[in-house]
Amino acid sequence: MTASDPRPVGEDDLHAFVDGRLDPGRRDRVEAWLAAHPEAAARVAADRAVRERLRARLAPVADEPIPARLRIANLAGPRRRRIPRWWPNAAAAALLLTVGGAAGWVGRGAVPSAGAPAEPMTQAAVSAFRTYVVEAAHPVEVRADGSTDLVRWLSARLGRPVTVPDLRAQGFRLMGGRLLPAGDEPAAMLMYDDDRGTRLTLYSRAGPTGGRGVFRYARADDVAAFSWIDAGMSYVVTARTDEARLLRVAEAVDAQVSGKREGAR
């Protein structure tokens, strides 16, 4: 491609621009187009910022050695004769998902558009979001004006302290919360909204014990979610918003819930 490439700039170009995958000629054309379209330029800048922040957060994980049980030789050797024909495609998809995570779990659909399924907990959180976010009369069981009771109730049912993050700096007010079934375990869901009526949920339940996990991004149609694990709890923030804003919320939640635990020690 050259700078005189007559093709109009499309979403694929913007995705590739964010990922740094355009050749110089096409990149120049996209930069010129963005200069004339400030709203798109702001969206691209936000996406690039998300990518870099996630890349920095995931860098330590990318440097970790691959566990022996996941090395190709150990996976393929003894089971080669029993591997079905579809396995190479599935393995390639899994590798794409892993590499996407190490690269940043972002790129305006770079991972979601590949059709990678979300984790079961994220699916449950998105399903709960879709169910309750449309409720006008009873979106929550306990409203924000009873936040002390809400914290006490959810903590007792989950069997561990539940923190209600303050997201006013990110533009969201607490509406309240509810208890949800999650298989054999209960889950807590807090709901927030902003001045434009955008609703956001924080879904949490008991998770793997010990350690911290990276943020993982998923998108289902118009609903975006970031999930992670930390110190025996799993979290998912979900909203109909862009990745950059949702990442800021996820970071704020993570800082507050981990900070409360540190302060309690």
If asked whether residues 153 and 188 sit together in one domain, one would say yes
Average pLDDT over residues 230-249: 91
Please give the residue range of the domain that contains residue 154: 117-264
Whether residues 71 and 130 fall in one domain: no
My answer on whether 158 and 249 are in the same domain is yes
Q: Under a CB-based contact definition with an 8 Å cutoff, are residues 105 and 58 in contact?
A: yes
User: Cα–Cα distance between 55 and 61 in angstroms, integer?
Assistant: 10
CATH code, domain carrying 254: 3.30.200.100
Least confident of 16-20, 25-29, 57-61: 57-61
User: Are both 16 and 56 inside the same structural domain?
Assistant: yes
In a domain? residue 33: yes
Dist CA 217 CA 35 (whole Å):
29
Above 80 in pLDDT, residue 119?
Answer: no
Is 111 part of a structural domain of the chain?
Answer: no
Looking at every residue in the chain, the average pLDDT score rounds to: 76
Residues 85 and 150 in one domain: no
- Interval 33-62: pLDDT, tens: 999 998 888 888 877 777 777 666 666 655
3-state class (DSSP) for residue 182? strand
The answer to whether residue 28 is domain-embedded is yes
The reply to whether 219 and 248 lie within a common domain is yes
Percent of the chain with pLDDT over 90: 32
Most confident stretch, 92-96, 111-115, 254-258: 254-258
Q: Which of 97, 130, 145 is the last residue of a domain?
A: 97
Sorting pLDDT into bands at 50, 70 and 90, what band is 144?
Answer: confident
Least confident interval from 89-98, 125-134, 181-190, 192-201: 89-98
3 state SS of 25:
helix
Q: What is the pLDDT of residue 117?
A: 46
Identify whether residues 164 and 246 lie together within a single domain.
yes
More confident residue, 146 or 45: 45
Rounded to 5°, the CA angle 259-261-265 comes to: 115
Are 145 and 191 found together in one domain? yes
Q: pLDDT band at residue 180, thresholds of 50, 70 and 90? A: very high
| Spatial contact of 63 and 46, defined as CB atoms under 8 Å apart | no
Is 110 a member of any domain?
no
For 62-101, write each residue's pLDDT tens digit.
565 655 555 555 555 555 545 454 444 444 444 333 333 4
Least confident piece of the model among 53-57, 107-111, 184-188, 189-193: 107-111
Q: Are residues 134 and 244 in the same domain?
A: yes
Least confident of 68-77, 108-117, 121-130: 108-117
Asked if residue 102 is part of any domain, the answer here is no
Q: Would you say residue 230 has pLDDT above 90?
A: no
In a domain, 4, yes or no: no
Instruction: Kindly report whether the global pTM for this prediction surpasses the value 0.85.
Output: no
**H-state helical runs in 20-62:** 24-35, 38-62
When divided into structural domains, the chain yields a total of: 2
Same domain, 53 and 175: no
Whether residues 93 and 122 share a domain: the answer is no
Contact criterion met (CB below 8 Å) for 240 and 204: no
Q: Does 1 fall in a domain?
A: no
Shared-domain flag, residues 69 and 147: no
Locate 228 and state its tokens.
């992670």
